[in-house]
C-alpha cells in the first residue's frame, strides 16, 4: 500500500531522511518511533507530500507520489491524515468540519455527507457534539473529531503524526481506543507515536528511526524484548524509566 | 469673538432654484456615500485578491502584489487622484477617451476617477490586513486543508479566508471609515460631495461656522453608524468558544 524506495531529504545541510526503505502492506498497522528530531514526522508527511523529498520514490496505492504528473489532490483525498495539534477548522461546527471535504472534494450531497458524518461521530463516541465548535471541546474530543474527519473521505490509508503528544494524559486513552478500533476494522495505518503500549498491543510492526535512518524494524514483541540496535535500547530505556 | 450664529441658515433659500442649503448637504452626503461604498467594494475585492497573492508560495505572484502595495501606499492620495483625473484619461485608447471626456457629464467623470483612485488606494491597505490575517493563522490550518485533497484555491476559500477575515474585522472597520473620510478629496476635482457642498454653503451664505459644524456632525454620525454596523457584523460571525475579536 505504501512503499518508500531509498528516500532522501535534506533541510539545507541537515540530512533528515537518509535512505529510507519501508513498506506498509494493506491492512497493516506500522508504528514509527524514535527520538525527537529523528525525522519520523517528516517521514510520515512525505507520504502525502506535505513534505517533498529530494531523492528516491514513494508509492501509495500504486501511484508514484513523487512523480510531478501524479494528481496530488486526488491522492491526498485517499489518504487520511491526523495531526499532532488536531488542526480542526475552528470556524466550523464539528459536523461541518467532517462534511466539508466530502462535499467539496468528492462532491457528495449535503444530506449524504451529514448522514455519514453522524455515523462517524457515533463511532468515535461524539454524536452528541455535532453542533459544538472545536474550541468548545477538550483536546481528546478534538482529536477524535479529527479522526472522524479523516475517515469521512473513506481513505485507503490513515496516517497519524503523534496524535496523542499534545493531549493531557487522561485524554490519551480515548484517542488510542478509537485508533485501536480502527486498526481492528482492517484499516491500513502508519502511526508516529511514543505510546509504546499502543505499539505493543496494536502494531504489526515497529519501525525505529534515528538521524533519518531506519535502524530497526521488527514485530512489537521482538522490538520491545530484544532490541538489536544500541540506540533503540537506549531509547526504550529512556521511555520506560525517564528519570534515569 | 463677534459672530452671529444663525442655525436657521440651513432652511434658507440658496437663491438657486427652490433649493434650501440643507438640500445641498443631503445631495453632498449622497455623493459621499456613493463614492465611499463603491470604492470600498473595489478595495475589498481587490485587496483580498492581493492579500492572498502576497501569501502564496510563488515569488512572482507575491512580488507583483508587494510592488502594488508599495506603489499605492507610498504616493499621497491627492497626487494619485490628480493622476487619475488629469493624466490617465489622456493615455486611454481613443474610444474610451472620447467617452470619458465628452460623453460623461463632468460630475460623472469626476466620480469615476475618484472611485477608481480611492478603491485602488484602499485596496493596498486592505491587502496588508488580509495578508497579516492569513499569516496569523497556524500553519497547520493550510496543511489540514491540503491533506484532505483541497487545491490551493479551496484551501483559501474554505479554510484560510473565513478565519483571516474574522481576525481582521477591527482593522478593516477603521479602513472602512477611512474610505468615507478620504472621499472628501473628491471636492478638489469638482465633485459636489459633502465637503464641496459645505464650502459652497459657507461661501454663498457667509455662515462658515454653521456649515462646517453641520459637516462635522454628519461625518461623525455617519462614521459612528458604520462602527455600530461593523460591531454587529463582528458579533454575527463570531465563532462560539473562540475569543478572537473580543469577548
CB contact under 8 A, A90 and B151: no
Q: Taking a C-beta distance cutoff of 8 angstroms, is the pair A143, A70 a contact? A: no
The set of cell numbers assigned to A58 is: 514513494
Q: What integer best gives the mean pLDDT of chain B? A: 93
Q: Report the C-alpha gap between A12 and A142 in whole angstroms.
A: 35
Task: Report percent pLDDT > 90 for chain B.
Answer: 88
Q: Taking CA atoms, what residue in B is nearest to A99?
A: B148
Please write the tens of the pLDDT for every residue from B195-238: 999 999 999 998 999 999 999 999 999 999 999 999 999 999 99
How does residue A238 score in pLDDT terms, banded at 50, 70 and 90? confident
**With left for phi above 0 and alpha for psi between -120 and 50, is residue B181 left, alpha or beta?**
alpha
Burial A102-114 (b: 16+ CB within 10 A, else e): bbbbeebeeeebb
Residues of B in contact with A48 (CB under 8 A): 147
CB contacts under 8 A, B 149-168 vs A, are: 149-151, 154, 158-159, 162-163, 166
For testing contact with chain B, the best of A101, A129, A155, A163 (most B CBs within 10 A): A101
**Residue ranges per structural domain of chain A:** 2-240
Q: Is A85–B138 a contact, with Cβ atoms under 8 angstroms apart?
A: yes
Closest Cα to residue B125, out of B163, B55, B175, B52?
B175
pLDDT digits (tens, 9 = 90+) for A48-61: 999 999 999 999 99
**Which segments of chain B does DSSP mark as H helices, in order?**
21-55, 59-73, 77-82, 94-98, 106-135, 139-147, 152-154, 161-167, 169-182, 194-205, 208-236
Asked if A5 contacts A49 with a C-beta cutoff of 8 angstroms, the reply is no
Neighbours of B199 (CB within 10 A): 17
Contact A89 B239 (CB under 8 A): no
- DSSP track, A142-196: HHHHHHHHHHTT--SEEEEESTTTTS-HHHHHHHHHHHHHHHHTT-EEEEE---H
Q: Which fold has domain B22-237?
A: MetI-like fold (1.10.3720)
Mean predicted confidence (pLDDT) in B165-185? 95
> Residue B163 is placed in which grid cell?
478565519
| Chain A residues contacting B via beta carbons under 8 Å | 48, 50, 73-79, 81, 83, 85, 87-91, 100-101, 104-105, 132-136, 149-150, 153
- Stretch B132-145: mean pLDDT: 95
First vs last C-alpha separation in chain A: 40
- The pLDDT value given to residue B247: 38
Q: Can you give the pLDDT at residue B117?
A: 97
Rounded Cα–Cα distance for residues A145 and A86 (Å): 8
**pLDDT, tens only, A86-126:** 999 999 999 999 999 999 999 999 999 999 999 999 999 99
Do the Cβ atoms of B159 and B144 come closer than 8 Å?
A: yes
φ, ψ dihedrals at B73, nearest 5°: -90, -20
* Axis crossing angle, helix B21-55 with helix B106-135, rounded to the nearest 10: 40
- Name the pTM for this structure: 0.88
- Interchain CB contact of B240 with A (< 8 Å): yes
Average pLDDT score, chain A: 94
| φ, ψ dihedrals at A8, nearest 5° | -125, 145
Distance CA B166, CA B234 (A): 7
Kindly list the distances between the CA atom of residue A187 and the CA atoms of A61, A128, A140, A153, B52, in Å, as whole numbers in the listed order: 13, 25, 21, 13, 38
Which residues does B161 contact at the CB level (< 8 Å), separation at least 6? Answer: B48, B52, B130, B134
Q: Please tell me the predicted confidence (pLDDT) of residue B114.
A: 97
**Contact (CB, 8 A) for A116 and A127:** no
Name the band, by pLDDT with cuts 50, 70 and 90, for residue A241: confident
| Position B242 confidence tier, pLDDT thresholds 50, 70, 90 | confident
With cut-offs at 50, 70 and 90, classify the pLDDT of residue A244.
low
Q: Which residues of A touch B242 (CB under 8 A)?
A: 90-91, 133, 135
Mean pLDDT, to the nearest integer, of B34-56? 97
Return the residue in A80, A87, A129 with the most chain B beta carbons within 10 A, the one to mutate for interface testing: A87
Q: Could you give the ipTM of this predicted complex?
A: 0.90
Tell me the per-residue pLDDT of B74-127, one tens digit each, with 9 for 90 and over: 999 999 999 999 999 999 999 899 999 889 999 999 999 999 999 999 999 999
Sign (positive/negative) of CA torsion A57, A62, A67, A72? negative
DSSP per-residue codes, B68-135 = HHHHHHSS-HHHHHHIIIIIGGGGS-HHHHHIIIIIS-HHHHHHHHHHHHHHHHHHHHHHHHHHHHHH
Residues 6+ apart with CB under 8 A from B112: B100, B104
Tell me how far apart the alpha carbons of residues B42 and B124 are, in angstroms, rounded to a whole number: 11
Stretch among A174-183, A210-219, B1-10 having the lowest mean pLDDT: B1-10
Sequence length of chain B is: 247
Q: Rounded to a whole number, what is the distance in Å from the CA of A233 to chain B's nearest CA?
A: 33
**The pLDDT of residue B243 is above 60:** no
**Architecture of domain A2-240 in this structure:** 3-Layer(aba) Sandwich (3.40)
Amino acid at each position: 500500500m505504501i512503499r518508500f524506495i531509498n528516500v532522501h531529504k535534506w533541510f539545507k545541510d541537515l540530512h533528515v531522511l537518509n535512505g529510507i526503505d519501508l513498506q506498509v502492506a494493506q491492512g497493516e498497522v506500522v508504528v514509527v518511533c524514535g527520538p525527537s528530531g529523528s525525522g519520523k514526522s517528516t517521514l510520515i508527511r512525505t507520504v502525502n507530500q506535505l513534505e517533498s523529498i529530494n531523492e528516491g520514490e514513494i508509492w501509495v496505492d500504486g501511484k508514484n507520489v513523487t512523480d510531478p504528473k501524479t494528481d496530488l489532490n486526488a491522492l491526498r483525498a485517499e489518504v487520511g491524515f491526523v495531526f499532532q495539534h488536531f488542526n480542526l477548522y475552528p470556524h466550523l461546527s464539528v459536523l461541518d468540519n467532517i462534511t466539508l471535504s466530502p462535499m467539496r472534494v468528492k462532491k457528495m450531497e449535503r444530506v449524504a455527507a451529514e448522514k455519514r458524518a453522524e455515523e462517524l461521530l457515533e463511532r468515535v463516541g461524539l454524536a452528541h457534539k455535532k453542533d459544538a465548535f472545536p474550541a468548545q471541546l477538550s483536546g481528546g474530543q478534538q482529536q477524535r473529531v479529527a479522526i472522524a474527519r479523516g475517515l469521512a473521505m473513506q481513505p485507503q490509508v490513515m496516517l497519524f503524526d503523534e496524535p496523542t503528544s499534545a493531549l493531557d494524559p487522561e485524554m490519551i486513552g480515548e484517542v488510542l481506543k478509537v485508533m485501536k478500533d480502527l486498526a481492528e476494522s482492517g484499516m491500513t495505518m502508519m502511526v508516529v507515536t511514543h505510546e509504546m503500549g499502543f505499539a505493543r498491543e496494536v502494531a504489526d510492526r515497529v519501525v525505529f528511526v534515528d538521524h533519518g535512518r531506519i535502524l530497526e524494524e521488527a514485530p512489537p514483541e521482538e522490538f520491545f524484548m530484544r532490541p538489536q540496535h544500541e540506540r533503540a535500547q537506549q531509547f526504550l530505556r529512556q521511555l520506560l524509566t525517564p528519570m534515569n | 469673538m463677534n459672530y452671529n450664529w444663525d442655525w436657521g441658515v440651513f432652511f434658507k433659500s440658496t437663491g438657486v432654484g427652490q433649493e434650501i442649503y440643507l438640500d445641498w448637504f443631503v445631495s453632498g452626503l449622497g455623493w459621499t456615500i456613493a463614492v465611499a461604498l463603491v470604492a470600498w467594494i473595489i478595495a475589498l475585492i481587490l485587496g483580498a485578491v492581493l492579500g492572498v497573492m502576497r501569501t502564496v508560495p510563488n515569488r512572482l505572484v507575491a512580488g507583483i502584489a508587494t510592488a502594488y502595495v508599495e506603489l499605492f501606499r507610498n504616493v499621497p492620495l491627492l497626487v494619485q487622484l490628480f493622476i487619475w483625473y488629469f493624466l490617465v484619461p489622456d493615455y486611454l485608447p481613443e474610444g474610451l477617451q472620447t467617452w470619458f471626456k465628452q460623453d460623461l457629464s463632468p460630475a460623472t467623470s469626476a466620480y469615476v476617477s475618484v472611485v477608481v483612485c480611492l478603491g485602488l488606494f484602499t485596496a493596498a491597505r486592505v491587502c496588508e490586513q488580509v495578508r497579516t490575517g492569513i499569516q496569523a493563522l497556524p500553519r497547520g490550518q493550510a496543511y489540514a486543508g491540503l491533506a484532505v485533497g483541497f487545491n490551493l484555491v479551496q484551501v483559501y476559500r474554505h479554510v484560510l479566508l473565513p478565519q483571516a477575515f474574522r481576525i481582521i474585522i477591527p482593522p478593516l472597520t477603521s479602513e472602512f471609515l477611512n474610505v468615507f473620510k478620504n472621499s472628501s478629496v473628491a471636492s478638489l476635482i469638482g465633485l459636489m460631495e459633502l465637503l464641496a457642498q459645505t464650502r459652497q454653503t459657507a461661501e454663498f451664505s457667509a455662515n462658515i461656522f454653521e456649515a462646517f459644524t453641520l459637516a462635522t456632525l454628519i461625518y461623525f454620525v455617519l462614521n459612528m453608524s458604520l462602527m455600530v454596523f461593523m460591531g454587529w457584523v463582528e458579533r454575527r460571525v463570531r465563532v462560539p468558544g473562540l475569543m478572537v475579536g473580543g469577548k
